[in-house]
Structure 1
């Protein structure tokens, strides 16, 4: 393997600096410029695939190393198994940029500008593929680098995160020819800034007083019997001392089946929530008579009790893929065999508004979020990222939630166990947030929004259509 191909490894790792918490969004085209340069120089498709693989390996090892924390520190898996498992996962994700590299070289166009279009289309395509194959892992899709305050975030309501992946990759490739790249960059920044001035949706109704509760329950204590009553007492106290029209508690804040909680506990929460005609949404566990159990959000208060059950489950964390029971036997992850809830569930009608609830990882799937629109005026995410410790996972997840608001023109309320609990406005800007790994309540006001962005209408079809147009314009060459 040549030194030039090995350079792809640190180039990929540098790409993580473009994401939260570093937020060097202006740097985003440069790592992908390096990849474009390496693919052009590769003598064969196999060598181009190797460069793409090393780029991806550096990118994912640097960006999602928190998977090791989840498996080893909190999942109880021996380090000698968790380490290779994390590396294998990152290597599997690196196959996507490897596929882009192989395809680019196999049918590389002759003209420079066609190569730029072809490269950008391929990078956006593999980002999209990664978002749904084997249930999907769209974490760190390139477009997330352009969440607000990037001026390119103006394109989010039109093309979504994969459209932004396409745009950033195109800018990176174009910078190889600065006489093309710099004017294109200036034009995109100006257009994005102009698009950010457009209000695709509009507020409706009066401001809603909200309270988002961050319990900061250590993951190793969450399901311990000796901590159970302390947890219930903490949440009851925080709800009692922070009245609001809408109160949100984190994912599995009540770490037991709802029908097995101490008698009268849910009634207490309901009475506290209903003090001002308000409602409360809390993460808990629910089950049915067939023995299935769900990761759910339960509403309590003035409105009738409603339930949302998580439908997009996390492999290994919430369900065991076929053939991997032996692997999960090496870990100690409670409740790792959930049943998926229905694919389409109505928003919860609470505090006089329709709220589209999603749980933890579900908000990385933009097309699933828009299924609740236009009915829902507010998005709400309940998460427990304590599984990932003090890692990049929390700020990365907050950045993803901000992209969902920018795409949909809806505010997002995030109630998390350890961070990042936040209020995000309808443009994707961070209005307020609690410091991570602290116990507290984030109080504020939010307004529901009505109307539809182009992304709400078409989902990822807009980005996919643009990718197809670029592929047609690039006119890839004959098979080499």
Structure 2
């Protein structure tokens, strides 16, 4: 394939790898947002001069290798069994992500015959790549380029454009030096960044509606993953959940994290009155359940009279973590889903839904991984009053994964204009307002509770009406412009 021709020398690819690493410093836990557009500007400029596939492959290895290093952590929960897989998981994930940069960039670069237009084509292709990563192979929109802005006022742009719009802004900044002379490029970059930054500050300065009267108690038991399913420790963690739920203080709703207990819903009957009494209010709890031969990762509402509401079953499952493709066949040779504790893996629920609990506004549940998908906020039969993410981030260590997961939850609040309550087993539990700001939180590795008034929702955002279509369309138009120019020649 001609896309693969023109491989630069290894020392040049080493520089591209370094640029990808520097660009990834814009993401949590580092938060050096300016590093992302600057490093990508150099990478795109180099790729536009030839060998785009190889330059972006090396740069993507740096970006994904650093930003998704947390993928090794699940294999280190039981290192004596799975530890040997950790380096392979990191290399394969980084390589897969890098191909999502290299292939579209290599193809796009062929649409133009001069370096500036090749740079524009590459930047547009990377925007579309970020969008496609939310869909292809069930999707993995983690470490999007636009995530570098989440901790800045410019993140408020997502209320209009979504996460893909933030990637579009980043890559627009990155391509400017390849399209304009240095001074005009700097002026346009400062104007674009400054204008969106100011707009974000203006949005943040707008007063939010008064909080609701609902007081939510978030319980964080800090059940360490390597002990979570041990029968003796499971009893300790269960008592911890009860004690934190029963602590003095008013509450209208109690929230437990994903898979909070080590027993199935069908086996929980004898302890449900005890849980209901400790909660002293309706409780939303993460629990596994069985329906015939199928198992589900679920959330249920436990009412004060110990009756259980209709379950919400997680529908966007983690491939190879919660289910294995062709799982029944592979289970015969001992290959089962990594994180599922029941059966050969979980079955998927029907899709996004709105849940209810007595006396509180309706909410949309998101179990763990589901919160990284902006598209799951659409398609509901009615608008909820808030978002609830129940998660277990104990799988992903304490360096980058939990912070990136929290950042993406904040972005969902900005996109939707809805507050988000986050209950995480080992942290970071948080109350997030509809501007994506953290009001209260519990750090990683601590047990505790948060009692907080539920923030009120904002009116529906433009992004909820339009989705990512405008940003995707602009990227397509940029690609089309390079193609039109080539045809004219």
Q: TM-score, normalised by structure 2?
A: 0.89
Q: Report how far residue 452 of structure 1 moved.
A: 1.0
Cα contact 1:242–1:441 (8 A) shared by 2 = no
1:418-460 deviation digits (Å, cap 9, x = unpaired): 1111111111112121111011112222223152111111222
Partner Cα distance (1:443, 1:158) in 2: 31
Counterpart mapping for 1:30-179 below 5 A: 30-42=38-50, 47-74=51-78, 77-110=81-114, 112=116, 114-148=117-151, 150-176=152-178, 177-179=181-183
Structure 2: where are the runs of 5+ without partners? 1-7
Residues 115/48 of structure 1: CA separation in 2 closer, same or farther (3 Å cut): closer
Partner Cα distance (1:61, 1:76) in 2: 24
Partner Cα distance (1:171, 1:256) in 2: 51
Q: Give the one of 429, 436, 451 matched to 2:459.
A: 451
Q: Which residue number corresponds to residue 230 of structure 1?
A: 236
User: Aligned with 2:142: secondary structure?
Assistant: coil
Residues 181/445 of structure 1: CA separation in 2 closer, same or farther (3 Å cut): farther
Cα contact 1:406–1:428 (8 A) shared by 2 = yes
User: Aligned with 2:456: secondary structure?
Assistant: strand
User: Aligned with 2:312: secondary structure?
Assistant: strand
Cα contact 2:220–2:425 (8 A) shared by 1 = yes
Q: Give the one of 340, 346, 352 matched to 2:354.
A: 346
Partner Cα distance (1:179, 1:321) in 2: 53
1:369-407 deviation digits (Å, cap 9, x = unpaired): 233485211111001011112231000101111111111
Q: Give the one of 422, 425, 435 matched to 2:443.
A: 435
Worse-superposed segment, 72-81 or 418-427? 72-81
Q: Report how far residue 184 of structure 1 moved.
A: 2.3
Cα contact 2:48–2:119 (8 A) shared by 1 = no
User: Aligned with 2:48: secondary structure?
Assistant: helix
Worse-superposed segment, 54-63 or 302-311? 302-311
Counterpart mapping for 1:378-397 below 5 A: 378-397=386-405
Q: Which residue number corresponds to residue 18 of structure 2?
A: 10
Q: Which residue number corresponds to residue 5 of structure 2?
A: none
Residues 400/366 of structure 1: CA separation in 2 closer, same or farther (3 Å cut): same
User: Aligned with 2:34: secondary structure?
Assistant: helix
User: Aligned with 1:380: secondary structure?
Assistant: strand
Cα contact 2:322–2:337 (8 A) shared by 1 = no
User: Does 2:255 align with 1:248?
Assistant: yes
Partner Cα distance (1:300, 1:175) in 2: 57
User: Aligned with 2:453: secondary structure?
Assistant: strand
Residues 259/342 of structure 1: CA separation in 2 closer, same or farther (3 Å cut): same
Partner Cα distance (2:465, 2:80) in 1: 44
User: Does 2:187 align with 1:183?
Assistant: yes
Worse-superposed segment, 428-437 or 197-206? 197-206
Partner Cα distance (1:249, 1:330) in 2: 24
Cα contact 1:51–1:101 (8 A) shared by 2 = no
Residues 337/206 of structure 1: CA separation in 2 closer, same or farther (3 Å cut): same
Flag the structure with more relative contact order, 1 or 2, with Cα contacts below 8 A and sequence separation at least 6: 1
RMSD across aligned positions (CA):
2.6
User: Does 2:322 align with 1:322?
Assistant: no
Cα contact 2:323–2:340 (8 A) shared by 1 = no
Q: Which residue number corresponds to residue 4 of structure 2?
A: none
Cα contact 1:312–1:362 (8 A) shared by 2 = yes
Q: Report how far residue 97 of structure 1 moved.
A: 0.9
Partner Cα distance (1:316, 1:18) in 2: 29
Q: Which residue number corresponds to residue 208 of structure 1?
A: 214
User: Does 2:472 align with 1:472?
Assistant: no
